[in-house]
A and B are shown apart, each in its own frame.
Chain A
Amino acid sequence: MVTAIASTANGRRSPYPGWFFLPAAIVYGVFFLMPTFASFYFSLTRWSLFEASFIGLENFIQFFREPFLVKGLVNTVLYAAVTSGMKVVIGLLLALMLTSQIMGRGLLRALVFFPVLVSTIGVGITFTVLMHPTKGAINEGLSLLGIAGPGWLTDPSLALFSVALVDVWKGVGLATVIYIAGIVAIPKDYYEAARIDGGTKFQNFLYITLPLSRPATATVITLSFIGGLRTFDLIWAMTKGGPGFASDTIASVIYKQYQSGFFGLSTAGNVVLFILIAVLVVPITAVLNRREGHQ
């Protein structure tokens, strides 16, 4: 025992060796951090992968001047806000339903969660077909009810919103299980006390469930907001940013510029997305966590 303590004290043979960090640090440093730092320089260049000529802020100026690039910026924020908002509301409602005493609760929980695990591209293709303006099952179903369905993905003012809906369909299961975990952790005493005081179900929800599941809300918002800002695969599978540039986001612009060989501009898009996430997500998490602390 003495030798163990001694060898720990002089640090050469700590049981928790610092070099355990090393392999992870090397992989992460080389393949994630280095490109991230390099992106700040290359975003200021006209770049062919072999040659980079410094052009200052020209890429960024272009990013904020070209209407379709600005559109992508606005769409990205809109998409993140819409999807995370809907995931909070629908996720909470589903969680309430799935923590109450209903038939087939286990099966339904599984059904709601399963889309989270399915290929995004597969989901995107499936819904692209279901949303076909004339032949798609959604509009066929609506016409049975006497409603003329819109061109979900062909109407420029609707396309981004339709993709966001599919994003919610695929991702709401995660929000739901996070809310279920939060709701289940609320002590039963509160509901018991409320019952004695004659509280209604709605009051229970408003004064007990909603405030006490705030940590879950914070998690859902943070996760889906970051996910929404970075989203690429679903948009690419469904609209490729179209019609026109109507549903482009920064991530799809990055890919398009990369495909066209504008590597400097593409990297500038990366930096813009990076700044956007930092500027939006850091304050949001700070606010959410501060309120949590006051509970």
Chain B
Amino acid sequence: MRSRASLLGGAIALLVSLVVFVVPFAFIVLMAFKDRRQANLLDFSWPNGVHLWDNLVTVVTTRNWMLVTAFINSTILTVVSVTLLVLLGAMVGFVLSRRKTRWNPLAEFLILSGLMIPPAVVPTIWLLQGLQLFGTLSGMILIEVAYNLPFTIILYRAFIATIPRDLDEAAIIDGGRPMDIFFKVILPLLWPVTVTNIVVQSVGIFNDFTNPLYYLPGNANATVQLTLYNFQSQFNTAYNLLFTNIALITIPPLIVFLFFNRQIVAGMTAGAVKG
């Protein structure tokens, strides 16, 4: 009797969580299939006919293929930022966990500050303007690197602490120069945490809305998240297109999730627990 009641409770909990977490995504997909008139009813209904292709074509070609430009911009931003983050973060994490100097406490303090302090928006814009970097992809890349370094370093430092020092000492004895030791011995050993970092930071930077909104204005520079925001007003009466756009920009994180689920979860929880 008791076990049947708990089984029933479990089934209900399961069903509720299933509905809560599936319905919003089902809604996005259904809306992307509808035509304009039906989509604007905003209801949760089966599409009367498949209009996905028409919607896709309209969304992609709107405003001079803005979405394509945005995907290119977002890809460049993500790839370059993440490459720099991995390189700079691994270098700091390596020295920070291997060598105890009087600079370490300062570095630790700065890392924690970086995780907590909200970036000072307008002074950053002022600085970027002074450096001729405001509204440029290069400026945006440097901003993403600066803002995401602390988390990257934390992940690297925790992982490097688990690699035996014997390995670097063997390389030192073999007469390796510091650069060689780092790039040829240490960096390849860090591959698992590098994958984690790449995945976690790519998703974060690809999804970033606030920073491009402030530091990368202008249609030519639009990133993927900003197209959504721009289309929100433009497509006010065409919800099918708005939701087709949402579905499109959800695909990259979905792919990453399908292939790297384990690394993402490991990275987010490890970084969280150690940080």
Interface residues of A (CB under 8 A from B): 1, 3-4, 8, 13-18, 20-21, 23-24, 27-28, 30-36, 38-39, 42, 47, 49, 94, 97, 100, 102-104, 108, 110-123, 125-127, 129-130, 132, 135-137, 140-141, 169, 174, 177-178, 181, 215-216, 219, 223, 226, 230, 232-233, 237, 251, 254-255, 258, 263, 266-267, 270-271, 273-274, 277-278, 281
Contacts and interface: CB of A to CB of B under 8 A. Distances in A.
B122 A270 contact: yes
A278 B115 CA distance: 12
A15 B149 CA distance: 23
Interface string B104-140: 0001001000111111111111110100000000000
Given A178-B269, A267-B121, 20 more contacts: A18-B101, A23-B88, A24-B89, A27-B84, A27-B145, A31-B145, A34-B127, A36-B119, A38-B123, A97-B14, A102-B10, A108-B14, A111-B21, A119-B207, A121-B228, A122-B28, A129-B239, A135-B43, A137-B43, A174-B272
A61 to B, nearest CB: 19
Contacts, number: 249
Given A36-B117, A47-B122, A108-B18, A21 B107 contact: yes
A168 to B, nearest CB: 11
Contacts of A117: 203, 207, 253-254, 256-257, 264
Given A111-B21, A119-B246, A226-B116, A24 B175 contact: no
Contacts of A237: 209, 229, 232
B210 interface: yes
Contacts of B225: 119, 121
Contacts of A263: 122
B229 A20 contact: no
Contacts of A226: 115-116
Given A49-B129, A140-B43, A177-B265, A35 B91 contact: no
Given A119-B250, A137-B27, A94 B17 contact: yes
Contact of B181 (A1, A15, A42, A100): A15
Contacts of B269: 177-178, 181
A119 B121 CA distance: 21
21 contacts: A15-B168, A16-B99, A21-B92, A36-B117, A36-B123, A49-B125, A49-B129, A97-B10, A97-B17, A102-B10, A111-B17, A117-B207, A119-B209, A126-B24, A130-B24, A135-B43, A137-B44, A177-B269, A215-B273, A230-B118, A270-B120
B114 A8 contact: no
B153 A21 contact: no
Given A115-B21, A119-B228, A177 B146 contact: no
A136 B126 contact: no
A127 B24 contact: yes
Contacts of A24: 88-89, 91-92, 149, 153
B102 to A, nearest CB: 11
Nearest to B96: A21
B163 interface: no
Interface in B47-69: none
Nearest to B209: A233
Most buried by B among A21, A108, A121, A215: A121
Contacts of A47: 122
Interface string B28-58: 1001000000000111100000000000000
Contact of B92 (A20, A36, A141, A273): A20
A8 B178 CA distance: 11
A273 to B, nearest CB: 5
- Helix, strand, loop or mixed for chain B's interface? helix
Given A20-B92, A38-B120, A122 B27 contact: no
Interface of B: 10, 13-14, 17-18, 20-25, 27-28, 31, 41-44, 84, 87-89, 91-92, 94-96, 98-99, 101, 103, 107, 110, 114-127, 129, 142-143, 145-147, 149, 153, 168, 171-173, 175-178, 181-182, 203, 207, 209-210, 213-214, 224-225, 228-229, 232, 239, 242-243, 246, 249-250, 253-254, 256-257, 261, 264-265, 268-269, 272-273, 275
Contacts of B272: 174, 178, 219, 223
A112 B265 CA distance: 12
Nearest to A17: B178
Nearest to A267: B122
